[in-house]
Amino acid sequence: MELYKKILLLIIVFTIFSCQKEDGKIDFTFLQVNDVYEIAPIQGGEFGGMARVETVHKELLKENKNTMLFMAGDFLSPSLLGTIKVDGERVRGKQMVEVMNSMNFDLVAFGNHEFDISQKDLQKRLNESNFPWISANVKLKTKEKSMPFYKEINGKKEPVNETFIKEFSDEDGTTIKVGFISVCIPSNPKEFVQYGNMFVKARASYAALQDSVDVVFGLTHVKLTNDKRIAKLIPNLPLIMGGHEHTNSYDTIGSVLISKADANAKTAYIHRISFDKKTKKTSVKSELKEINSSIKSDEKVAQIVDKWQTILTSKIKNIIPNPEEVIYTAKTPLDGRDTPIRSIQTNLGEIITKSMSFAFDDSVDCALVNGGSIRIDDQLTGAINAVDIFRVLPYGGPVLKVQIKGRLLKRVLDYGLLAAGTGAYLQRFNAEKVGEKWMIQNKELNINKTYTVAFSDYLLKGFDIPFLSSENKEVLSVYSPKEDELASDIRKAVVEYLKKMESN
C-alpha cells in the first residue's frame, strides 16, 4: 500500500510538470573578462587570477546552467610568460590557451594583441584552443587572397566564423537562439592580417543574424568611442561586451549597454539576462565583480597556473637569484599603464631611465627608453619584487652606452615627443624640454657637442625611430656591456636601483 502511494505521488508530480506550459520567458547569464595577460594573481596576489575567475564561473553555472564565459579580446600577448622559452620555443600565449581550455570558455573575440605574435604561433594557439573564436572584420591575408582564420584539427580546417549562435532552453521548455557579433580594432597592422571596416562589418553581421535568432549581443575589442558608434548603428543590441580599455566602464547609448571590465581579471562583469519571447524584450542586470583574494581558487585551474608559474620562476632565477624577494615598497603607485607610459613622463618611466644611468655609475649624460618596451599596462603599488620588474620589462635586453652627436640627439628627442600615443614615445632621465629648448642635465642641448647616452638596445635597432641605429654616422660609438655587468640586462639594473632606493 505504501509503495502504491509513492508511485501515485510520482505520477502526480510528473503529470504536473509535464503539463507545465512554456511561459515564453528565459533567464541566462554572461560572465565577461577582457584584456587578460596574466594567468596568476597580480599586485602581490591581491587581485586577478584565472583560477579565481573559474570559481565564480562554476558558482554561476550552479545558479543557472545557461551561463556563458566570454573573453572580449587580448589574451595571447603581452605577458612575461609569453616571452620565455620552453623546450627551445617561446611560449607566446600557450599558457593562456591551456588555462582557458580548462575553464571551458564559450566564446572569445580577437583583440589587437593577438597579432603581436607571428602567424605561425597564432595558428598554433588557434589549433590548441577548444573554444570558438569570432570576428567579422579580421581575416588571414595570404599572397593569393584573404580568408577566415581557421583551426586545423586532424588535418581538417575549421574556419573562424563572423557570427556565433547559442541555443538556450529552460525547465519549462522555453527555447531561444542567441546570436553574437564581433569586430576588432585595426590598430596592429601585420602582413598576415586584413582588417575590414569595423562599422560596415558589424552592421552586415547583425543583418545576417537577426532573422535567424531571437536576440543579438556584441562581443567586441574596439575603443569605447567605437563601441558607442556601433551602439548607434545597431540600436537593437541589448548589450555590447567590450575590451581594449583596461579600466572598467559601463555606458548606455540609447537602450544599448556597453560594459568593459578591468584588465588582468581584476574585475569581471556578470550579466544576468531575461528574455521574453512574446514581447521580444531583453532585460540586463549587470554586476561588476571584483576578483580578489577573498575568492578561493579553483583547484583544477590553479594546478595549471602553478605549473607555468614554476617554469617562470626557474627562468627568472637565471638572471635574479631571489625573484620573490621584496626589493621596494611603492607608497605612490608606479604608473606603467599603456596610455600614460606612451604619452607622458611617468614615475615608473623615470625609475627605469634612472636605473639605466645607475647601471653605468651615472657616467652618462642622459638615459632614454621607448614607452613600448614597458608592457605591464598596470600600476605597481605596495611590495614590489623582481617578478614585477620582469612583468614591466618582459623582453629585457642590455642597456647600451652610446656616444652620439648633439644634432642627432635633438632629432631623437623631438621624434619621441611627437610620437606621443605610440610605443616610440620616450621615457627620459636628465633630458627635459623647457619651452622650445631641450635641456640635458639642466643645460641647453648643444647640437655640436658629443653626448654619452644610455639607450635600451631596442632603440638602437631603428624599429621605433627609423634614423636611430648604429649605422647612422652621428652615432660615434656603441658600448655593449658584458654578461657580468649590471647593464647587461635592463631588469637587473632596475632591481638593483630599487634596492638602493629602498635602503636609503
Whether 204 and 197 have beta carbons less than 8 Å apart is answered as no
**Matching CATH topology for 22-290 and 322-503?**
no
- Measured N-to-C along each axis, helices 94-103 and 119-128 cross at an angle, to the nearest 10 degrees, of 20
Task: State whether residue 453 is helix, strand or coil.
Answer: strand
Strand partners, 29: 67, 272
- Residues with Cβ within 8 Å of 9's Cβ and at least 6 positions away in sequence, in order, are none
Task: Specify the pTM.
Answer: 0.82
Reading the chain (504 residues) residue by residue, the pLDDT tens digits are 565 555 655 555 454 444 456 789 999 999 999 999 999 998 778 899 999 999 999 999 999 999 999 999 999 988 889 988 898 889 999 999 999 999 999 999 999 999 999 999 999 999 999 999 999 999 999 988 999 999 999 989 999 999 999 999 999 999 999 999 999 999 888 999 999 999 999 999 999 999 999 999 999 999 999 999 999 999 999 999 999 988 899 999 999 999 999 999 999 999 999 999 999 999 999 999 999 999 999 999 999 999 999 999 898 898 888 888 899 999 999 999 888 999 999 999 999 999 999 999 999 999 999 999 998 877 888 889 998 999 899 889 999 999 999 999 999 999 999 999 888 999 999 999 999 999 999 999 999 999 999 999 999 998 899 999 999 999 999 999 999 999 999 999 999 999 999 998
Strand 67-71 and strand 25-33: the pairing is parallel
Q: What is the CA radius of gyration of the chain?
A: 26
Query: Where do the H-state alpha helices sit in 173-322?
Result: 198-209, 224-233, 299-316
Between β-strands 107-109 and 67-71, what pairing exists: parallel, antiparallel or unpaired?
Answer: parallel
- Exposed, middle or buried: residue 101 (CB in 10 Å: 0-12, 13-18, 19+)? middle
Which uninterrupted H or E stretch holds 402? strand 399-405
Helix (H) or strand (E) holding 273: strand 267-276
Among the listed residues 480, 502, 478, the one whose alpha carbon sits nearest the alpha carbon of residue 490: 480
- Can you give the pLDDT at residue 15? 46
Instruction: Please give the Cα distance from 350 to 75 (Å, whole number).
Output: 28
> Residues 371, 376, 379, 383: what is their CA dihedral angle, to the nearest 10 degrees?
-120
Q: Torsion over CA of 165, 169, 175 and 178, rounded to 10 degrees?
A: -20
Q: What is the 3-state secondary structure (H, E, C) of 41-67?
A: CECCCCECCHHHHHHHHHHHHHHCCCE
271 alpha carbon, distance to own chain's centre: 21
Distance between first and last Cα of the chain: 88
In the block, cell 625609475 appears at 351
- What phi, psi does 66 have (nearest 5°)? -85, 65
Instruction: Tell me what pLDDT residue 187 has.
Output: 85
Cα 57 from chain centre: 20
Asked if the peptide bond before residue 159 counts as cis, ω within 30 degrees of 0, the response is no
Any idea which residue has 581579471 for its cell? 265
SS3 string, 109-171, reads ECCHHHHCCCHHHHHHHHHHCCCCEECCCEEEECCCCEECCEEEECCEEEECECEEEEEEECC
Instruction: List Cα–Cα distances, 360 to 21, 217, 278, in angstroms.
Output: 79, 55, 73
Q: Which pLDDT does position 22 carry in this prediction?
A: 77
Q: Are 109 and 227 in contact (CB under 8 A)?
A: no
Which CATH code fits 322-503?
Answer: 3.90.780.10
Q: What CA–CA distance (Å, rounded) separates 319 from 157?
A: 42
Query: Residue 326: in which H helix or E strand, if any?
Result: strand 326-335
Does domain 22-290 correspond to CATH entry 3.60.21.10? yes
Domain boundaries along the sequence of the chain:
22-290, 322-503
Centroid of chain to Cα 183: 16
